[in-house]
Amino acid sequence: MANNNFCCKCKTGQATIRIRHAFYCHDCFLFAVVGKYRTILGKSRSMNRAKGKVLLACSGGPSSISMLHMTKEFMHVEPYAKKKIQVLDSALVCHIDESALFEAQNGSTQKMKEMVEKEFPNMDFLSSSMQDIFLKDFTKDADLDTVLKGMDGSSDYDYLVKPIKQESTLNSETDRIDRLRELFNGINKNTAKEDLYWHIKMTMLVTLAKKEGCSYIFMGDTATRQAIKMISMTGKGRGYSIPFDIGVENDITFPGLTILRPMKDMLSKEIGLYNRFKDLEKYVIPPTDFNTGKPAKSSIERLTEEFITTLDRDFPSTVSTISRTASKLTPLNDMDLSKKCAICNMPYQAGIEDWRRRITVTNVKDKSPDAIPNEEKKKLDDSMIDMNEYLCYSCQVDMKDYKNDTVSRLPPYSVKAILDEYLINDNDEE
């Protein structure tokens, strides 16, 4: 068909790019991509209400870099374009340095700093390392001397721990790096490692945003990544918090803070082409994490990534259909937002433990046909806490892959959250 040669939008330019089933010319493609970014910002409820400072979460990967670039273009208002209202006051680029865990990321902070100074001079730059999660800055009223020790006697449904006072040995940077590495090495499966890694990162971003007085966080998740996360989170049991984890706009879980994902409609192919055309490829730091270079079955996330990208090759509408389905989900009406999971900070359902007891039976003692088999809650020693009561379903499932002593290396914010909730409950019962 002769139409293939002409751009489908302007109908005059030579079509050089194919996205999904449509052909675009160079200029129309760029216009369309930037248009998607602007649409999301324009439609955002919170941005229409109040302006504020924006924290740009930048990992150095391709979509973070293009997000920075698009934000810069967006902030720049031509003096003659009176209709363009400058929505973003100021922006702060935030980078979390993971070189303690991944050698390949060494020097990423330095590279990012140079790039921001050169290309994005009106943005500030802030960086933090992952091992800083063990510092007092990331936990309000931190008590670094208390850790949780895993106890024996946990059944399949609970996870018993005991708070112990332990002299804090996290005074130097190397101590903290070691602790971080021990924490992750103490987790057997990659799936649980990735989850913890992601939760720690999110917690750090949220804390930094609040500290710097930002009201928005922009994250660079693309449509492809959103589709992958939708499926992998379903597979991990995070259905309850999916609308918060991957939705375009989340102003509910963190009061005073809105998390936006302006790159949500863009495929990773579009991002790659944008970076090439705008000459940003030299700044891209290839993101390495636990999945890089691993075979497909090493973790749930990696398997899903392999599956979706392969399926998308044969059925190009896969990613957009899954994205659309994800955007139609909404949080449940009776969601209790006051209870948050100690590790991932997302709301969790009540009654999970009971549900699990009925579905997976492990007590074979009551074999008489009259008794309805029921698990008796073990009589807890007063000082022991059942950690599972303060975790969401998928964090509970992840905990099963933790070695016995890894619990004592959990970051202080989790420990504090568990202990605070436990003390509140304890006081209620009196």
* Binding region for another protein (CB under 8 A): 156, 189, 191, 230-231, 233-240, 242, 296-297, 299-300, 303-304, 307, 311, 318, 321-322, 324-325, 328-333, 349, 355, 358-364, 367, 369, 372-373, 393-394, 397
**Shortest approach of another protein to residue 338 CB, angstroms?**
18
How far, CA to CA in Å, does 6 sit from each of 1, 26, 32, 280, 298? 11, 11, 16, 27, 44
Burial class (CB in 10 A: 0-12, 13-18, 19+), 300: buried
Which residue, 159 or 393, is less far from another protein as judged by CB?
Answer: 393
**Shortest approach of another protein to residue 310 CB, angstroms?**
9
Q: What is the dihedral of CA 127, 130, 136, 138, to 10 degrees?
A: 70
Which residue, 81 or 364, is less far from another protein as judged by CB?
Answer: 364
Strand, helix or coil for residue 126? strand
Please provide residue 143's backbone torsions phi and psi, each rounded to the nearest 5 degrees: -120, 95
Which residue, 31 or 315, is less far from another protein as judged by CB?
Answer: 315
Which residue, 297 or 403, is less far from another protein as judged by CB?
Answer: 297
Burial class (CB in 10 A: 0-12, 13-18, 19+), 170: middle
**Shortest approach of another protein to residue 359 CB, angstroms?**
5
Amino acid at 25: C
Which residue, 78 or 314, is less far from another protein as judged by CB?
Answer: 314
**Shortest approach of another protein to residue 176 CB, angstroms?**
30
Which residue, 25 or 326, is less far from another protein as judged by CB?
Answer: 326
363: its two tokens: 């007590």
Nearest to 119 by CA among 78, 59, 69, 53: 69
201: its two tokens: 């990162």
Q: Give the span between the Cα atoms of 376 and 373, in whole angstroms.
A: 9
Which residue, 97 or 221, is less far from another protein as judged by CB?
Answer: 221
**Shortest approach of another protein to residue 145 CB, angstroms?**
35
Which residue, 176 or 229, is less far from another protein as judged by CB?
Answer: 229
**Shortest approach of another protein to residue 44 CB, angstroms?**
17
User: At which residue do the structure tokens 């009654």 appear?
Assistant: 351
Side-chain half-sphere exposure of 144, counting CA atoms within 13 A: 14
Asked whether the beta carbons of 417 and 340 are under 8 A apart, the reply is yes
| DSSP state for residue 380 in the 8-state scheme | P
Which residue, 13 or 331, is less far from another protein as judged by CB?
Answer: 331
How far, CA to CA in Å, does 137 sit from each of 196, 211, 226, 254? 19, 9, 31, 18
| DSSP state for residue 284 in the 8-state scheme | P
**Shortest approach of another protein to residue 266 CB, angstroms?**
19
**Shortest approach of another protein to residue 234 CB, angstroms?**
4
- 346-374 exposure pattern, b = at least 16 Cβ within 10 A, e = fewer: bbbbeebbeebbeeeeeeeeeeeeeeeee
Burial class (CB in 10 A: 0-12, 13-18, 19+), 427: exposed
**Shortest approach of another protein to residue 232 CB, angstroms?**
9
Which residue, 46 or 327, is less far from another protein as judged by CB?
Answer: 327
**Shortest approach of another protein to residue 395 CB, angstroms?**
12
Q: Give the span between the Cα atoms of 52 and 217, in whole angstroms.
A: 10
Please provide residue 114's backbone torsions phi and psi, each rounded to the nearest 5 degrees: -65, -40
